[in-house]
Structure 1
Amino acid sequence: MARALDITVVLSPVLRSVFDGRSTVSLSLPATAQVGDVVESLLNLYPRAKAFLAGDLKNPGGRFLHVATASGGQGLAAGQKVYLLTSSCRPGDNRAGLEG
């Protein structure tokens, strides 16, 4: 039987209200999990986070969810931290006066 991966998701301050005020979320995922599995698990546990997905038609001017890992790839390792961040403008939108 494959061991589970214990992953810690570190949340940016802007996102904490969507995740019940937490600064981190601990997940136990299958050993074969990738970054997409982390995102899917978070969206299942915290459905309000869906409003931060790029391309959300209900909130076209909203923020965008960014996922970063220390490995820079899709693979995960036990004990790894995954960082969840957001920006206040669309990627590639460099208009003056916007936070990015």
Structure 2
Amino acid sequence: MFLALPAYYIRSWRLLTLTMTLPLLFLFIFFIWLPESARWLISVGKYDKAEKVITKVAEVNKAELQKPLFTKEFMVEQERIRKEHRPTGLDLIRTPRMRMRTINLVFIW
């Protein structure tokens, strides 16, 4: 319904597409300032960047953090887990719950 009013006044589909997508391009500028997820950074082994993100969040929330945030044992364990299980396409259908999610997403897309 949001598209109906502009489509009524802009008859060219190319100009309509440009008119509707141009404002969204400005949103991509904000991705420069968005930090990556701390969970993602930890999972790929970027502990220094993850610590910066978590520290910043803790400052905003006025929370106390333990020092050191990531112990050597934690990093060794995470590295072992990362090397032990490399994700594959079969992981999408391995468990019944994940299988249903995958099928659901296939139909949605």
TM-score higher than 0.5: no
* Structure with the higher fraction of residues in helix conformation: 2
Instruction: Tell me the TM-score normalised to structure 1 length.
Output: 0.22
Higher strand proportion: 1
Task: Give TM-score scaled by structure 2 length.
Answer: 0.21
**Structure with larger RCO (C-alpha < 8 A, sep 6+):** 1
